[in-house]
Amino acid sequence: MKLYLAGPDVFLPNAVEVGNAKRQLCRQYGFVGLFPLDNELTAAKAGRLSKTIFAGNIAMLNEADAVIANLTPFRGVSADVGTVFEVGYGFARGKKVYGYSNVRTGFIERVQELVSGALERGADARLYAADGLAVEDFDHFDNLMIAEALLQNGESIVLPATAVGDTWRDLQTFERCLRTIQARAPAGSPITAAR
Amino acid sequence: MKLYLAGPDVFLPNAVEVGNAKRQLCRQYGFVGLFPLDNELTAAKAGRLSKTIFAGNIAMLNEADAVIANLTPFRGVSADVGTVFEVGYGFARGKKVYGYSNVRTGFIERVQELVSGALERGADARLYAADGLAVEDFDHFDNLMIAEALLQNGESIVLPATAVGDTWRDLQTFERCLRTIQARAPAGSPITAAR
């Protein structure tokens, strides 16, 4: 089974190293990991870098059987939008989508951290932040479109049991997510065969 | 042509009103606007609200011919992730995706506003923010996955010519985006016929 490794990991200075470590972990669990930066390195030689990266990522997503997304909040309340685009794309293409976050802080708490001021219950019974816009109150880790896409596989987002030291490099939560995927794989599937 | 009206507009206290105004504008340009909150209102009666909204939005996306996304930065550097999920989903399903933002501030400037500290050019020639992660430097308004999906239609994100008064309620940029879509519609299409 091929897993597309979505996440803002590509923005790390040592992204190649992190990608290799993730791929190595995938192999340990009988998966093939596809890391977006593989495209980027080749694309660097091409003229239209952005377009080439996009086309490469789309081709890789089409090749993958599932998406495993690093949904750690990135420069704001929610996950990296590039990653979320890929989660939506993968889901639409019938791929199973799984996700994890290396940050445990809940959604409503994250909104409060970014939008200063108290939350208030509106006349319509929805929760509102000080920016005047509602805050989803479904006990999900992030926007319901992401949460429900993951739940279609019967799995919520995987979170660390305790605070993680290096948010962008620790791979323990990623590995727990791989174990979850492995447990979900039907018996006799290529995953089992590969071990 | 049916347009799925993606955006954080659903989080407004007067979301129904804004949705109606958007649908009215769609009609003026010969389109049918599908607004996610239509599902939500019905779903409120159901038990599993989050799951019902998700299923309703997905059904509506499948019905739409194109997606017009409000990509105004929302609680962070980038667009609302629920909207971006829908952009990725729609793109994967072969829908044309269009987008606009009521904020003009560029991507790199927005990263600098959220992540305090100077940007620096890394040894790998990439631009890095003070959080230690790279910043895309492609002159796009947001992450390249969003930008390139829009560019597949030959159109960039539509931005306001001057600063917009009410970021979440002004519909002038939305209307300019509708005009763009109309101009792109092939002659003799149902759009022209409906006018």
- pLDDT greater than 70 at residue B48: yes
Query: Per-residue pLDDT for A195 more than 50?
Result: no
CA distance A78 to chain B (A): 7
Sequence-separated (6 or more) residues with CB below 8 Å from residue B47: none
Residues B137-164 pLDDT 10s: 999 999 999 999 999 988 999 999 998 9
For residue A159, pLDDT beyond 80: yes
Note the ipTM here.
0.92
Asked if residue B195 has pLDDT above 70, the reply is no
Whether the predicted pLDDT of A50 surpasses 50: yes
pLDDT of B152 reads 94
Tell me the pLDDT tens digit for each residue of A115-157: 988 999 999 889 999 999 999 999 999 999 999 999 998 899 9
Query: pLDDT at position B117, please?
Result: 87
Position A37 confidence tier, pLDDT thresholds 50, 70, 90:
confident
- Kindly state whether A9 is in contact with chain B, defined as any CB-CB distance less than 8 angstroms: no
Side chain identity at B193, as an amino acid letter? A
Residue of A nearest to B113 (CA): A75
Instruction: Return the number of other C-beta atoms located less than 10 Å from residue A185's C-beta.
Output: 18
Q: Nearest-CA residue of chain A relative to B52?
A: A148
Decide if pLDDT at B49 tops 70: yes
pTM check: above 0.90: yes
At B191 the pLDDT is 44
Residue B13 pLDDT > 50: yes
pLDDT (mean) for A6-16: 94
Beta strands A66-70 and B134-135, pairing class: unpaired
User: Is a pLDDT exceeding 80 seen at residue B64?
Assistant: yes
A25 Cβ neighbours under 8 A, 6+ residues apart: A33, A171, A174, A175, A178
Of A192 and B78, which is predicted with more confidence? B78
Of A77, A81, A93, the CB nearest to B84: A81
**A145 close to B36: Cβ distance less than 8 angstroms:** no
DSSP chain B: -EEEEESGGGGSTTHHHHHHHHHHHHHHTT-EEE-THHHHHHHTTSS-HHHHHHHHHHHHHHH-SEEEEE----SBSS--HHHHHHHHHHHHTT-EEEEE-S----HHHHHHHHS-S--EE-TTS-EE-TTSSEE--SS-SS-HHHHHHHHTTT---B--SS--SSTTT--HHHHHHHHHHHHHSPTTSHHHHH-
Contact assignment for B92 to A87 by CB distance below 8 Å = no
CB contacts < 8 A (A, B): 160
Name the band, by pLDDT with cuts 50, 70 and 90, for residue B184: confident
> Which chain B residue has the Cα nearest residue A81?
B81
Q: What is the pLDDT of residue A24?
A: 97
Q: Give the confidence band of B192 by pLDDT, cuts at 50, 70, 90.
A: very low
Q: How far is B67 from chain A, CA to nearest CA, in Å?
A: 13
- Over the stretch B66-108, which tens digit does the pLDDT of each residue have? 999 999 999 999 999 999 999 999 999 999 999 999 999 999 9
Please give the Cα distance from B59 to B82 (Å, whole number).
15
pLDDT at A41 (0 to 100): 54
pLDDT band at B37 (very low <50, low <70, confident <90, very high): confident
A97 interfaces chain B, CB cutoff of 8 Å: no
Q: How far apart, in whole angstroms, are the C-alpha atoms of residue B109 and residue B115?
A: 10
Residue B43 confidence (pLDDT) above 80:
no
Flag if B140 and A50 touch (Cβ within 8 Å): yes
Task: State chain A's mean pLDDT as an integer.
Answer: 90
pLDDT at A185: 73
B39 pLDDT band, cuts 50/70/90, is low
Assess contact for B97 and B87: CB atoms under 8 A: yes
Residues 44-73 of A with CB under 8 A from B: 49-51, 53-54, 57
The share of chain B scoring above pLDDT 90, in percent, equals 83
Chain A residue at shortest CA distance from B114: A75
Distance from CA of A12 to the nearest CA of B (A): 5
pLDDT at B185: 73
B40: pLDDT confidence band, cut at 50, 70 and 90? low
Rounded Cα distance between B183 and B96, Å, is 14
**Window A:150-169, CB contacts with B under 8 Å:** 151, 168
Half-sphere exposure of B70 (CA within 13 A, CB side): 27
